Structure 1
Amino acid sequence: MTTSTTPSGSSPPAERPALTRMGGFLPVDPVLRRLSLLTLLNSFGRGLFFSLSVLYFTRIVGLSATSVGLGLTIAGLFGLVAGIPAGRVSDRFGSRPTLTVLWLACGAAMASYTLIGSYAGFLAAVICYAVVNQSGVGVRSALFADVLPPEVRVEGRAHLRMVTNVAMGVGGSLGMLALQADSRGAYTVVILANAAGFAVAALLVWRLPVRTTAAGLAGSSDEPVSRWRAVRDLPFITVTVLNGVLVLQYSLLEVGLPLWIAQHTDAPRWSVALIAILNCALVALLQVRITRGIDDLPRAVRAMGRSGVLLGLACLVFALTADLSPMWAVAVLALGAVIQVLAEVLTAAGGWTIGYALADARAQGVYQGVYAAGFSAATMAAPALITFTAIEHGTAGWVFLAVLFTVAGLAIRPAVAWARRTGEWRGEPA
C-alpha cells in the first residue's frame, strides 16, 4: 500500500470511522455487529462440542480411540482438498450464498452425528462434516473481503477472532456439564445445539449486505483461467507455505505443551490449564489493539518476521523447563506462553493482511481457499511434527522448531517481494 501527500490547500482525507470501541470489545459498525453475532453463535456451538467429540464417539457410540483417530484423520484429508473448489464456487456465485449453503450443510452433517450406529456411519458423517466445514473456511475469508472495506477488514477480523475465542471458551465451559452427565441425552443436546448454531448463523450470513464494488468484481466477465490462477501462483503458494509453518504454533499450544509438561517437566498438571487460560485472555485483550498497527503490507511483513523470532525464543524458553523445580517450571512456562501469545497475535494480523493484499480481488474465493488449505495442512501435520521433535528429542527438538519458526518468519519478506514483482495483474481495488 502506498501513501500520498495531501496537496497544499486541499482538505485532508477523512478519518477512517472506528469499527469498535471499549478496546475492541464492542463493535459499532453495523456490518461488523452482524458478523459478530453470527460468529458468536457459530463459535459457541463449536465450543460446546469441541471438548467432548472424541468422548462421544468412544463412550456413547462405542468406537475405539484408535479407530476414531484414524477416521478423523481420513476426514481431515477430504476436508483439506475441498477448500479450493469451494472457493471457485464462491467466485462464481458469490461468497454470501455459498457460505449460507455450506453452513446449513454443516448443521445437517453435525445433526447426523446423533444417528451414528456403526463405523461406516461414523466415517460418512465425519467426512461430510469435514468437507463442508473446511470448505467454509476460505469462503468465510472471501465473505469478509466482500462485506468489509479493504482498509478495515483486517481490524474487523481481529475483532471476530476475539469473539471466536471468547465464545468457544464459554461454550467449552458449558460443554463440561455434558461431560459430567456422560449420557447419550446430554451429548445429543450439545450436538443439536451446535447444529442449530450453524443453521442460525447461515441465515444471518444470507442477510449480510454486500459492497457494490465487491459484487461487481465477483460478477465481472474476466477470463475463466483467472479464477484458478491461485493454484498456479507460485509466489502466493510460497507465502502460504511459510504462513503454514508459523501457524504450527497452535498445535504447539494444544498438543506439544501438554505432552511436554506431563512427560518432561516437574510442573503440576494444572499448569496446562493455566497456560490455556492465559492464552485465551491475552489474545482477547491484545488481538484488536495490535492489529490496528498492521494495516498495510510492509507492516504485515515486519509483523510476520517478528512473530517468527518470538516463536523461536518461546521454543527455547520452553526447553529450559525440563530441569527446573515445579514452581520455577510454572513461572518459565508462563513466560514462554506470553512470548508465544505475542507471536500468535502478530502472526494472525500479518497473515490476514498478506493473504488479502496478495490475492486477486476478482478471485478472492480461490485465493482464500488456497490460503486456508495451507492452514489446514499445517494443522494436520503439526501434531506428528511436534511430537517427533520436541517430545521425543527434548532440547534438540525445541531448537529445531526454534530455527524453523525463525527462518519461516524472516523468509516472508523475500517471498512477499517476489509476489509483488510478479503480481501486477492483481485486481485489488484501492
Structure 2
Amino acid sequence: MAFATADTDSPHLAPAVDASPRGLRAVADRLSGPGPGSQRVLMTSTFVNTIGNGMFMTSSILYFTRVVHLSAARAGLGLTVAGVVGVSAAVFIGDLADRRGPREVQLALLVLMSVTMASYVLIHDFAGLVLVAALDLLANGASNAVRGGLARRIGGEGAAAFRSRLRATTNAGIAIGTLVAACAIEVDTRLAYELLILGNAVTFLISAAMLRRLPHLEPLPRPARERRWSAARDVPFNAWAIANGLMTLQYQVLLIPLPLWIVSHTHAPRWSVALCLLINTLICVFFQVRVGAGVTTIAQGARAFRNAGCFFLISCPLLGLMPDVPGWAAVLLLAAGCVAHTTGELWHASGSFTLGYDLAPEHAQSQYQGMQGLWSSLLGTSLAPAILTLICVDGGQVGWFALGGFFLVLGLATIPVTHWAERTRPRYLPRPSE
C-alpha cells in the first residue's frame, strides 16, 4: 500500500473517520465546497496578487543587474540557490494547513510574502539577494501548496475545472502586470523599480484582505492509523509527481532557450520573442478553462499527459527548423510552434490539476500539493536553465528534435505510472459524488 500505518496514540493524528451514515454525509458536505461565492473571492484575490507578480517577474532581473549592480550570472546563481532552499517548506506548511485549516495559513503566508517582497528594496549585494530571495521563495512555495489545497476545498467536485479558471485568471493578471512593468522599465530608474517591488508587496496585503471573506474550513478527519508526512512515503504518487516535474520543463521552453535561439540562430526579428509570449498568454487565458473542462477523471488526466507529449513533439521540431528559412517564414514557424506548444501546455496543466487532486487523499490535499510542487520546482524550474540551454541552444536543431521526443516518451510513460498510482489509492473518505 502507498500509506504506511502507525501507532494510533500519536498526538498529531486527527480522530478516525466516522463511518456512520451521518458521519459520511458530514464529510461529503465538507468536500462539496462552500459555494460559488467563495470561488469568486479566491479568483479575485488571486487576480490582484498576480498583477503584482507580473510586475515583479518582468522587472526583477533588471532591478538586480541595473540597480543592485549584480552581474546577470550572479543574480541567476543567487536565485537558483534561493529557489532550492525555498521549496523545502511546501510539504511541512501544507501539512499544517491540512491540520489547522488552509484559509488561516494562507492569510499568514500572504502577510509574510508582503514583508519579504518589500525587503528586496533593502538588498545591496549577493548575500542579501540570497537571504531575501530564499525567505521569499520559501513563503511562496508554501503558499502555492496551501492555495492548491484551498482551491480543492472551495472547488468541491469541480476542483480541477476551478483550478483551470484560476490559471486563466493568473495569466490575465500577469499580462496586466507586465504592461505596468513595461512603463517602469522605460523610465529605468531606481525609484521606478522600487515602486514596482513595493506595489507587488501591497498586492499581497490586498489579496489577504479579500481572502478574509472566505469561511473557515474545518480540517478533514484523518485515518486513525496514518503516519505524518504520508506524501513523502507515497511511492506511486511520487513516481507520478516526478514525471510531472520533468514535464514541467515545458513551461520554461518559451522563456529560456527560445529567446536565445531566436536572437542567435535564426533570421526572425527580435520583436518576435514578445509575439511568442503574447500568443502563449492569450491562448492560456481564453482556452485553459475549455480544455480543463474535459479532464475530470484520473483516466482523462493520464490521457491529457499523452496529448501534451504529442503536441510538444510537434512544437519543438517546428521551433528547431527556424534557422533554415528566411525571416518572414521563421516568424510563421515560430507562431505555429508557439500555438502547438501552448496547446500542449493546456493539456499538461489540466492533467496535473486533476491527477494532483484525485491521487491525493482528501484530508491531506495541501501536503500532497506541496510534494507535487517540490518535484516541479526541483526538476522543472531549478534545472531548467542549465538543461534547456544545453539541449536547445548548444545542441542546435538535433536538441530541439530530441526535446520533443523526450516530452512524448514522458507523456506516454505517465499513463502506466498513473494507473499504478490509482490502483494503490486507499479509500479513506468518500468523494463528493458518493
Q: Higher relative contact order by CA 8 Å / sep ≥ 6: 1 or 2?
A: 2
Q: Select which of 112, 131, 153 maps to 1:124.
A: 131
Q: SS at the partner of 1:208?
A: coil
Q: 1:114 to 1:420 in 2, by over 3 A?
A: same
Count of matched residue pairs? 398
Deviation string 1:82-113 (CA, Å, 9 cap, x unpaired) is 21111121122121111111111110001111
Alignment partner, residue 241 of structure 1: 242
Aligned pair partner of 1:184 in 187, 190, 195:
190
Question: Counterpart of 2:275?
Answer: 274
The gaps in structure 1 that reach 5 residues or longer are 1-18, 20-27
CA distance in 2 between counterparts of 1:185 and 1:126 reads 20
Deviation at 1:357, TM superposition (A): 0.3
Amino acid across the alignment from 2:53: R
- Name the structure 2 match of 1:138: 145
In structure 1, the partner of 2:414 is 412
**Matches of 2:187 and 2:101, distance apart in 1:** 43
Q: For the Cα contact (< 8 Å) 1:266–1:322, is it kept in 2?
A: yes
Q: Distance in 1 between matches of 2:224 and 2:384?
A: 38
Counterpart of 1:424 in 2: which secondary structure?
A: coil
Shift of 1:67: 2.2
Please say if 1:35 is aligned against 2:42.
yes
**What's the CA shift for 1:186?**
1.5
> What corresponds to 2:314 in structure 1?
313
Quote the offset at 1:225 in angstroms.
4.3
Give the AA of the match of 1:404.
F
Identity %: 36
The letter for the 2-side match of 1:395 is Q
Distance 1:250 1:124, change over 3 A: same
Describe the SS at the equivalent of 2:395: helix
**Match for residue 195 of structure 1?**
201
The whole-number CA distance in structure 1 between the counterparts of 2:80 and 2:374 is 15
Report the equivalent of 1:356: 357
Secondary structure of the residue that 2:321 maps to in structure 1?
helix
- Pick one of 28, 34, 51 that aligns with 1:44: 51
CA contact (8 A) 2:249 2:381 kept: yes
CA deviation profile, 1:191-238 (whole Å, cap 9, x unmatched): 111001111212322331255xxx251xx2544744411111111011
Q: Give 2:366's aligned residue.
A: 365
Deviation at 1:75, TM superposition (A): 0.5
Contact 2:391 2:399 (8 Å CA) reproduced? yes
Equivalent-residue separation in structure 2 for 1:84 and 1:98 (angstroms): 13
Contact 1:106–1:132 (Cα < 8 Å) also in 2 = yes
* Distance in 1 of aligned mates of 2:225 and 2:259: 48
Alignment map for 1:253-268 (pairs within 5 Å): 253-268=254-269
State the partner residue of 1:152. 158
What does residue 95 of structure 1 align with?
102
Mapped partners of 2:326, 2:343: distance in 1? 26
Residue pair 2:266, 2:322 contacting (<8 A) in 1 also: yes
Structure 2 counterpart SS, 1:52: helix
Match of 1:421 in 2: 423
Q: What is the rounded CA distance, in whole Å, between the counterparts of 1:241 and 1:422 in structure 2? A: 17
- Pairwise CA distance, 1:381: 1.0
Distance in 1 between the 2:54 and 2:331 partners?
27
Q: In terms of mean alpha carbon deviation, does 88-97 or 269-278 score higher?
A: 88-97
- Normalized against structure 2, the TM-score is what? 0.88
Cα distance, 1:78 vs structure 2: 0.5
Corresponding residue for 1:65?
A: 72
Equivalent residue in structure 2 for 1:108, among 102, 115, 118: 115
> C-alpha distance in 1, partners of 2:351/2:413?
14
Q: Distance in 2 between matches of 1:426 and 1:369?
A: 20
Question: CA 1:119 to 1:388, structure 2 compared with 1: closer, same or farther past 3 Å?
Answer: closer
Structure 1 residues 138, 327: closer, same or farther in 2, change over 3 A? same
Of stretches 227-236 and 112-121 in structure 1, the one that deviates more from structure 2 is 112-121
